[in-house]
Amino acid sequence: MSNWLPDLSAFPGPKYRAIVDAIAADVAAKRLPLGTRMPTHRDLAWRLKVTVGTVARAYTEAERLGLLSGEVGRGTFVTDPDKKDSALGQYLSVAWAPHPGIINMAVNRPSGDQGAWAVGPVLAQLAKRADLPQLLSYNLESVAQRHRVAGRKWLALEGAEVGLDQVSVTAGSQQALVAAIATLTRPGDVILAEEYTYPGFKSAVTLLGRSLVGVMMDENGLIPDEVERGFAKGARLLYTTATVQNPTTATLDESRRRAIAEAARRHDAFIIEDGVHRFLDPTAPPPILVHAPERTLYLTTLSKSVTPGLRTSFAALPGEVKGRFDAAIGALSLALPIPLLEAACMLIDAGIAQEAAERQRRDALARIALAGEILGIAKPRPAFNIWLPMTLPWTSSAFVAEAARRAVSLPPTDSFAVGRPHMDGVRASVTAPPDMETLAQALHILADLLACGSAPLAMTV
């Protein structure tokens, strides 16, 4: 741990602001190198003769600015301010725009025609409807009951059974995440997430001026005791993908889900449970929502199971937060894309969305099985991607760079990382390559790289 002790006399203004400015100055001058572990709140407060709350506020602001990164159970570390707000940008730079000739394994997306076979006929039906002008107009009233009924039906398929008055409809899960953060937290608050998490959530947290702290995981997902520790330190919100976690593919067992729910209750905290990949593992335990319905916001979407283009997501919400959540959605969008919502509901009502999800699940299973065969993974998990733990001499950054040199595009692991994760790994999408032949070609390249490292996989995907 650093013995850093700034001279605050050079920085005018409130003490907490002076500490932030001193951190920024010393990072820029290399007096605080990247990775330096900062003094604890109590230690720095005692040596500066300020309150612990002043230091806590300063560290929170420094995290918001990208100067520091807090990690549950480990401390606070100096990070690279140039990487602030870059997680989603880093991911998208390779996920959506790989160079020609590169095999894209960077983005998790529905395989095949992106659901065009299902959506096309429904859009044709919509084009012939007499009420099309009304659907295309400004629709400022609340979401129609038929949309919430379809949403409730879809949520129930994932084990999230709630009353109709607890269902909200949103234009995609990213909008729902922003609304949930805005509803449940205030600027400067600390939010917990897996030590590797969805880059879009990291981006939303930064946009809204909150601080994200990574919670340690193992091969089975979030460690409940670490979640408890984070809540005990003051965090009041946890974001988790409990089933087929992105990017590690871990699925929490029943006991961990129950323990996390009980921890949220003990500490008066909330949970955002992202069900984006729930359809891939129908045998997974019931959602955390079942164990703490008054503490859990369960979100799901059609983006991976049917098509990203519908921009339709559903949320199951505790009664006490639903009004504020809906108000946040209204502030973000004013009017939802009703024609897209209508198409989504038609697909659900006709059972076509369910068929599309099953097609995607079967295709993912076939692709994952191929990955297991080529990479020598004993029990591959159902997912859109594999997670390759890195052991020396490989690091994730070196592996990604070498894969790119061999014409395979992988997302930078840093885009998923929260703070300084205790494990290292690489995510490789099996659904992005256009066909099984191209996927096999890419997997053989990855297998050769792993063999070059002479290090066996430390855990299954």
For residue 38, count CB atoms less than 10 angstroms from its CB and return exposed for 0-12, middle for 13-18, buried for 19 or more: buried
> Largest alpha-carbon pair distance within the chain?
73
pTM attached to this predicted model: 0.79
Decide if 346 is inside a domain: yes
pLDDT score recorded for residue 95: 54
Q: How far apart are CA 31 and CA 437, in angstroms?
A: 52
Domain span including residue 13 = 8-83
Q: How far apart are CA 216 and CA 192, in angstroms?
A: 10
Q: Same domain for 79 and 155?
A: no
**pLDDT at res. 461:** 39
Nearest residue to 210 (alpha-carbon basis) of 332, 63, 309: 63
Decide: 48 and 8 in contact? Cβ < 8 Å. Answer: yes
Sequence letter at residue 43: D
Q: What is the pLDDT of residue 162?
A: 96
Question: What is the rounded CA–CA span in Å between residue 414 and residue 421?
Answer: 10
Residue 1 lies in a domain: no
d(CA 81, CA 187): 19
How far is 5 from 38, CA to CA, in rounded Å? 10
Compute the residue count for the chain.
Answer: 461
- Residue-level pLDDT at 85: 47
Question: Does some domain include residue 137?
Answer: yes
> Is residue 262 situated within a structural domain?
yes
Spans of the chain, pLDDT less than 70: 1, 71-73, 80-100, 140-143, 453-461
Residues 94 and 154 grouped into a single domain: no
Same domain? For 29 and 101 the reply is no
- H-helix segments, 214-318: 224-232, 254-266
Instruction: Looking at the structure, tell me whether residues 189 and 280 fall in a common domain.
Output: yes
Q: For residue 79, what pLDDT is reported? A: 81
End-of-domain residue from the set 350, 381, 406: 350
Do residues 371 and 405 make contact, with C-beta atoms less than 8 angstroms apart? no
For residue 278, the domain's CATH number is 3.40.640.10
Residues 203 and 336 grouped into a single domain = yes
Given this model, what pLDDT does residue 299 score? Answer: 98
| Domain co-membership, 232 together with 153 | yes
Residue 89: what pLDDT?
Answer: 57
17 in a structural domain: yes
| CATH number for the domain that contains residue 33 | 1.10.10.10
Say if CB 316 and CB 298 are below 8 A apart.
yes
User: How many distinct structural domains can be found in the chain?
Assistant: 3
What's the distance, CA 226 to chain centroid? 18
Please check whether residue 458 lies inside any domain of the structure: no
Q: Which tens digit of pLDDT belongs to each residue from 197-252?
A: 999 999 999 999 999 999 999 999 999 999 999 999 999 999 999 999 999 999 99
